[in-house]
A and B are shown apart, each in its own frame.
Chain A
Amino acid sequence: MTLQKARSLAARLRGKEELVVTIGIFAFGVYLLAGTRNIQTPVSFSQIGPRFFPYLVGTVLTGIGVWLTIQVLRGKTGKAEESDLVDVTQRTRWVSVVLVVATIIIHGILINLVGWVIACAFLFWGVAFATGSRHWLRDPIVSVVVAVVVYIAFTRVLAVSLPAGILEGVI
């Protein structure tokens, strides 16, 4: 019985993935409302203090979250953004998405570990790979060239400081 119920629920929720967003908005609103009570208010403030705006925004978000959830449940879902470069009618390539996210996380770790140039080359290669580039020789070469050129342009020409890491003294 419960399995059947779960299945019919799943069927009813198909195409309503937007609920993740609407419920997220609602939850964020609740978080704001709850967190606002912890904001300290200085005594000197006779008029509205630092809590007024958070209450306002929290109320707007919870309200709109409920409204949108109802809209989505009634089948009025949002229309995905389209362009000539993307085709939103196809299945979401979750693997690619996860690869991009992972690449960025590793990029962050690599910056402190081995320096910005290597981290950047990895980032460029990783994103190119995740978005479908499969040139086994060209991709790494382009990545390294981009990383070195950007590093030199920003550190030497524009004097932005980026950690050289293990390549200290080499570049």
Chain B
Amino acid sequence: MEAVDGLLHGLSVAVQPKYLLWALAGVTVGTLVGVLPGIGPAQAIALLLPLTFTVEPSAAFIMFGGIYYGCMFGGSTTSILLRTPGEAGSIFTAIEGNKMARSGRAGAALATSAIGSFIAGAFATLALGIAAPYVVSLALHLGPADYFTLILVALIVVGVLLGESVARGIASLGLGLAFGLIGYDAQSGMKRFDFGMPQLASGLGDTVIVVGLFAVGGTLYYAAYRRAQEPAVMSRGRVWLTREEWRRSWPAWLRGTAIGWPLGAVPVGGAELPTFLSYSYELRKRRRKRKKHPVPLKDGRDPDDDGIIEAVAGPEAANNANAAGVLMPLLTLGLPTSATAAVLLIAFQQYGLRPGPLLLDSQPELVWGLIAALFIGNAMLLVLNLPLVGLWAKVLKLPGPYLNAAIATFAMLGAYTTVSSTFQVYTMLVIGVVGFALSRFGYPVAPLIIAAILGPIAEVELRRTLEISAGDPSPLFLRPLPAVAYSVVIVLFVVSRVMRYRRRLADRTSAQHGDAATGTGAAEPEPSPESGPTSQQPVVPPVQTESNRR
């Protein structure tokens, strides 16, 4: 049992006092940053990348892992009390959880999301540890053509299938690939697109791209469009669950975990889909149940209008299980499928490490230590977020200008320290302006980041494939993995197009009959299984998502 040995070995690493401290520091910083409105794990870890210059890898990854999980917990608090999800996975918590908060049940919403996150995190991290060795042994058989396929599929899914506008997703991908081209060609060593500036010879630097887009772009966006009035923070009450709430929550937690983990572990990425599936499933289940056992009105109101606890518990669990699942393709294949995973990949590269099937063999301490530390950190987070949630809620009162000033400070610190030169400060500023323009016109930013990181890898794999086959491109399509993968993508694309078309048709017909989404229809979300995760426009609160911005 390689997995059991590995996990035990990892635990022996992670329980060393210094690593426990790094984990504690990570989950604390993660919760803190996650609570800050509009900041998600990708931005938090990106801003702390300078740590990789001096801290040893195990400690840094244990801390980053803690931040990753911590942000998830902290983000739920903000979503519930402020309705400002820091990343895509919290959107449905923000909808239902905030409804509960508005009706004075913030405590129950916070408790079900914290406990649900804990349970999902525990199961999903365990599943990661158990499955990783098997995936690695499979991954060892993959050739360059297979890797090229996986990268291409990941890019297509992130850029084309998940976004709202296909053209803007492709544009974002293209810009990312172009940014990745800058600097020496990895294989031939030829100079490419350095704009005549020797500082660009070694490339733009992934840190500069990520932090520039998220942090600088986000600050510019806030400067341009900040609201005169900061949003109201809900009061929270007692943070615990009644017997009835326990009974309703726990099946939803388990279902959420079961939906979230596999969708994170297969390299297609994105927390939108699993949380959406969980949310719509819980709502439908609730509705079916109410048909059998009608719920009495309370003070003339339908209690479900004030938030359905299952619909908070399920997506929260799905989100955290998904977050752990995303580590699977990252650690075993070196394939980041979310912005956060992309930033973690940058951190690996800073240490000269390349995540992939060989990492588990060459750095068992690091990988197993990280997985075990995630397990421990997850438990720490439950303690940090149940009794101490009041403390974090205070952070929400931090004024927006100070928050943005702090973000800019850390961004510039990161820019300067990459090569101890102010050149990067200006490069980051330019990229920030690009990020501002992209956000302003609805171009998703996550595809750009992932393309900038994966583009150079894809190019190497493509050229290797053609060298091995002496210029024959057929392995790119005809090997088993590419053949299956591309077929699946084509089917997915066709299905999503057909669904979108059918929905538009339905909208048009209902509009003609004059019963378009008005009144109750707009107030109560009616997710249908065939609408995509982005189809929730009327009910989704204005959000800043990880995939889009800081």
Contact = CB atoms under 8 A, between A and B. Distances in A.
A123 B224 contact: no
B538 interface: no
B38 A83 contact: yes
Contacts of A46: 470-471
Given A78-B441, A111-B422, A131-B219, A83 B543 contact: yes
A162 B416 contact: yes
B365 interface: no
Interface string A3-17: 000000000000001
B84 to A, nearest CB: 5
Contact of B441 (A77, A103, A109, A158): A77
Contact of A85 (B190, B227, B459, B463): B227
A57 to B, nearest CB: 5
Contacts of B178: 28-29, 32, 57-58, 61
Given A78-B165, A84-B541, A108 B223 contact: no
A54 B334 CA distance: 23
B193 A35 contact: yes
Interface in B457-484: 459, 462-463, 466-467, 470-471
B181 A101 contact: no
A127 B541 CA distance: 27
Given A101-B433, A131-B219, A85 B543 contact: no
B210 to A, nearest CB: 17
B409 interface: yes
Contacts of B190: 39-42, 50
Contacts of B222: 85-86, 131
Contacts of A166: none
Interface stretch (B335-343, B371-379, B395-403): B395-403
Contacts of B433: 101
Given A60-B170, A96-B224, A78 B219 contact: no
A21 B413 CA distance: 29
Contact of A116 (B177, B405, B416, B439): B416
Interface residues of B, number: 84
Interface stretch (B46-54, B250-258, B260-268, B384-392): B46-54
A18 B177 CA distance: 21
Contacts of A73: none
Given A54-B192, A124-B408, A128-B402, A94 B51 contact: no
B404 A21 contact: no
A24 B225 CA distance: 23
Q: Which A-B residue pairs are the 10 nearest by beta carbons? A: A78-B442, A82-B542, A133-B401, A96-B223, A78-B441, A50-B185, A83-B544, A86-B225, A131-B401, A127-B405
A16 to B, nearest CB: 10
Nearest to A157: B54
Interface residues of A, number: 86
Contacts of A103: 408
B191 interface: yes
A20 B167 contact: no
A158 B467 contact: no
Given A84-B541, A128-B401, A146-B406, 13 more contacts: A39-B191, A42-B190, A57-B177, A64-B171, A80-B225, A99-B223, A107-B425, A123-B409, A124-B408, A131-B222, A131-B401, A150-B410, A160-B54
A45 interface: yes
B417 interface: yes
A132 interface: yes
13 contacts: A28-B178, A47-B467, A48-B463, A52-B463, A57-B181, A60-B173, A61-B171, A85-B400, A120-B413, A130-B223, A131-B223, A147-B409, A160-B417
Nearest to A58: B178
A40 B190 CA distance: 6
Given A20-B437, A48-B466, A57-B181, A28 B224 contact: no
B135 interface: no
Interface in B196-252: 216, 219-227, 230-231
Contacts of B462: 48, 53
B462 to A, nearest CB: 7
Contacts of A131: 219, 222-223, 226, 400-401, 404-405
A150 B413 contact: yes
Contacts of B37: 84-85
A97 B435 CA distance: 13
Contacts of B105: none
Given A64-B174, A160-B54, A104 B188 contact: no
B435 to A, nearest CB: 11
Contacts of A17: 441
A83 B405 contact: no
Contacts of B54: 158-160
Contacts of B188: 41-42, 45, 49-50
Interface string A108-139: 11011000100010011111111111000000
A61 B439 contact: no
Contacts of B405: 123-128, 131, 133, 143, 146
A6 B211 CA distance: 40
